Chain A
Amino acid sequence: MFKTITKRTAMAAALGAFAFAAMPAQADVIDDIKERGTLRVAVKADYKPYGFRDTSGAIIGIEPELAQDVADELGVEIEFVPVVSSNRMQFLQQGKVDLLIATMTDKPDRRKVISIVDPNYYSSGTNIMAPKSFGFTQWEDLRDKPVCGIQGAFYNKKTGRDFGAKIVAFKGTAEVYAALKAGNCVAFVYDDSSHVATLEREEWADYEMPLPTIDDAPWGLAVALGETRFHDMMGDMIEGWHKSGRILELETKWGVTNTPFALTMHDQYK
């Protein structure tokens, strides 16, 4: 397990000091966790393979394993709290969990309400899933072909304008999957991490995610605002994961092709 404290950048130190000075003195969350003997982590329970339930109902996946690493580091038991996208930040803000690792995209407005830890531990981007028989290899192959999407997704415009695809957008993923199966469109443009999960299923065995991922957006794990010591510790944990290739190892274990982001970060920190 990674233990040494790596050099923090002057920026992070300055930010940390500022956050510390801004908050009133209070019991540190790390002390609380150790006293309680359990680390409470918010994870997804419906986002295979990043966080989902096995047949016995236990939450497993890449993010729960990362959380387990943190609990091991602290020498405490772990407790998973299943969250969804719309309530995950509130769980952290209200102190119902100590740590949030739940496929959350790192955005500036989110950084205002919770303390997202640098560096980012993961990322997802835009890709398509299409029948293997079409043999798409590049985004330009989609020109003038009907491509399904979700109404309102920001990459519909890019796929339509830059790559010339005719976007056929529906309200939800269920309609898209029906339309894709029926042949109303030749591909489905969406989050690559969602495709990874869908393609795991038997019914989509003849489909693939063939293109290079674009529009990569990083995911952030977070602690509550003001928890400087825990924040710094998590920063070191993430650097350690990247350095040791832990993320790559977990991707392989859970059947995800190594993502460019994880590979790049591993190169950067090793």
Chain B
Amino acid sequence: MDAFFEWFRVLYDETGINLPFLYDSYDRNRMIDGFFMTIKLSVVCLFFSIIIGIIGAWLQNSPFKWTRRIMNGYIQLFRNTPPLVQLYFFYFAISSLLPTMSNGYGGQQPILGGFAWAAISLSFFAGAFNVEIFRSGIEAVPDSTIEAAEALGFSRLTIYLHITLPLAIRVALPALNNNLVNLVKTTTLAYAIAVPEMLYEANQIWSDNVNVTEMMVFLLLTYFVLVGVLVWVMHRWEKRLKIPGFGA
């Protein structure tokens, strides 16, 4: 394995193509950590944004006026502000209002660090879009289906979970895919609040080695593959969920 990595040092000496994240063990570990940090942040945000979307779409149709209003307020707030501004807002503004805890060596630190705030902020950001996406799916479910379920004695929650949502997800999936792909790409913004994900680590490596071009190419390809995997999984899911005769 070492011989393989050393080959890239030779490549640099011979051709000037500088890939220190392969031959320099410190940079390599940084890049690997950054890669897994991106995956971790993406998975956490994907999960919570979908949960927020499902719950939000249900609350949007709540019989209570104020629940609906709060839900719409949340959507407007997070959909109409840039995600970078939200990150800064959470990390620098909200964080400083929360109580602090001991950092173990005589000082105080905020309860939540960069990763937690990035996960919260990006989940809410993508969640706001997901609510609207699920709403579009829910509204595509015919009223007569709901009425039939009501006639059979289902409660509002069970209708939502067992009848509306399974049908709505199928309608909403293509739009949901779009938003989730965007979410994975948006995780790069977390580098602004020093979450050590791929862009952050690549930025430091190209500053240390002045190899901006190589790192840019590497980053582009890595994100292409990463998002490609997500798209492939979502398409497989879309196919499996397909009900003959439902939808187009």
Contacts and interface: CB of A to CB of B under 8 A. Distances in A.
Interface in A160-195: 161, 167-171, 175, 178-179, 182-184, 186
B203 A182 contact: no
Nearest to A141: B105
B178 interface: no
Interface in B155-206: 191-194, 200, 203-204
Interface stretch (B36-44, B57-65, B107-115, B213-221): B107-115
B92 A175 contact: yes
A169 B200 contact: yes
B107 A184 contact: no
A184 B109 contact: yes
A254 interface: no
Interface residues of B, number: 23
B95 interface: yes
Q: Is the interface of A mostly helix, strand, loop or mixed?
A: mixed
B26 A161 contact: yes
Contacts of A161: 26
Given A152-B203, A154-B207, A168-B194, A145 B105 contact: yes
Given A157-B26, A183-B100, A134 B106 contact: yes
B96 interface: yes
Interface in A75-122: none
Given A133-B107, A157-B26, A171-B192, A184 B113 contact: yes
Interface string A218-243: 00000000000000000000000000
B208 interface: yes
A131 interface: yes
B91 to A, nearest CB: 8
A184 B110 contact: yes
Taking each of B192, B194, B207, which has the highest tally of chain A beta carbons within 10 Å of its own beta carbon?
B194
Nearest to B109: A183
B204 A184 contact: no
Given A152-B203, A182-B96, A183-B109, A169 B103 contact: no
Contacts of B95: 182, 184
A133 B204 contact: no
Contacts of B194: 148, 168-170, 179, 184
Contact of A151 (B26, B107, B114, B204): B204
B197 to A, nearest CB: 12
A39 to B, nearest CB: 37
A182 B105 contact: no
A170 B88 CA distance: 11
Contact of A157 (B108, B114, B200, B208): B208
A14 interface: no
B114 A186 contact: no
A127 interface: no
Nearest to A136: B105
B107 A183 contact: yes
Contact of B107 (A134, A152, A171): A134
A23 interface: no
A167 B194 CA distance: 9
A169 B114 CA distance: 11
A179 B208 CA distance: 23
A157 B106 contact: no
A37 B200 CA distance: 53
A37 B188 CA distance: 57
B107 A186 contact: yes
Contacts of A131: 107
Contacts of A133: 106-107
Nearest to B92: A178
A170 B96 CA distance: 17
A171 B87 CA distance: 14
A157 B204 contact: yes
A118 B84 CA distance: 47
Interface of A: 131, 133-135, 145-146, 148, 151-154, 156-157, 161, 167-171, 175, 178-179, 182-184, 186
Given A156-B208, A178-B92, A183-B109, 5 more contacts: A157-B204, A182-B95, A182-B110, A183-B108, A186-B105
21 contacts: A134-B106, A134-B107, A151-B191, A152-B204, A153-B207, A154-B208, A157-B204, A169-B194, A169-B200, A169-B204, A170-B194, A175-B92, A179-B92, A179-B194, A182-B96, A182-B110, A183-B103, A183-B107, A183-B109, A184-B114, A186-B107
Across the A-B interface, give the 10 residue pairs with the lowest CB-CB distance, nearest first: A152-B207, A183-B109, A168-B194, A183-B108, A161-B26, A182-B96, A157-B208, A178-B92, A169-B194, A170-B194
